[in-house]
Amino acid sequence: MLLGPALAISAVLFTLGVAGVLFRRNAIVIFMCVELMLNAVNLTFVALAQGLGVAGQVFVFFVMAVAAAEAAVGLAIILAVYRHKQSVSLQNMNLLKDG
């Protein structure tokens, strides 16, 4: 009954996350947009678990574990980059760029 609305809302949330990644430059905000995308996927898992069994809810656990690991390592990388460049803007992260 709630499947259609839930999938529609999660599609909108995922798209907002993608848009945020595309038009922001701050690395931390881009990270938050990635978390938003992961949460949109969690919503589809929970919505489908209602009709297909609790395995969908178990998968949300794994998504949360991966999100926590990703947040910890990603924020550590941002801290290390900030120490070098004094900035978290992706514009200044061009070490591999030619010239």
Partner 1 sequence: MILTFFWIFGVIAMGSALLCITRKNPVASALWLVVTLFALAAMFVLLDAQFIAVLQVLVYAGAIMVLFLFVIMLLNLGRPGPSDIKGPVGVLIAVVLAGAMLLQLRVLGDATLAEAVRLPPGTVAALQQQQGMVGAVATPLFEAYLVPFEIASVLLLAAIVGAVVLAKRKL
Residues 9-68 that bind partner 1 (CB under 8 A): 9-20, 22-26, 28-29, 31-33, 35-36, 39, 42-44, 46-55, 57-58, 60-62, 64-68
Q: Least distance in Å: CB of 50 to partner 1?
A: 6
CA distances, 10 to each of 7, 22, 39 (Å): 5, 18, 8
Q: Least distance in Å: CB of 81 to partner 1?
A: 10
Q: Least distance in Å: CB of 95 to partner 1?
A: 16
Q: What is the identity of the amino acid at 23? A: F
> For residues 17 and 40, is the Cβ–Cβ distance under 8 A?
yes
Options 1, 94, 97, 98; binder of partner 1; rule CB under 8 A: 1
> For residues 36 and 18, is the Cβ–Cβ distance under 8 A?
no
State whether residue 94 is helix, strand or coil: coil
| One character per residue 66-95, x = contact with partner 1 (rule: CB under 8 A) | xxxxxxxx-xxxxxx-xx----xx------
Q: Least distance in Å: CB of 26 to partner 1?
A: 4
> For residues 53 and 5, is the Cβ–Cβ distance under 8 A?
no
> For residues 45 and 63, is the Cβ–Cβ distance under 8 A?
yes
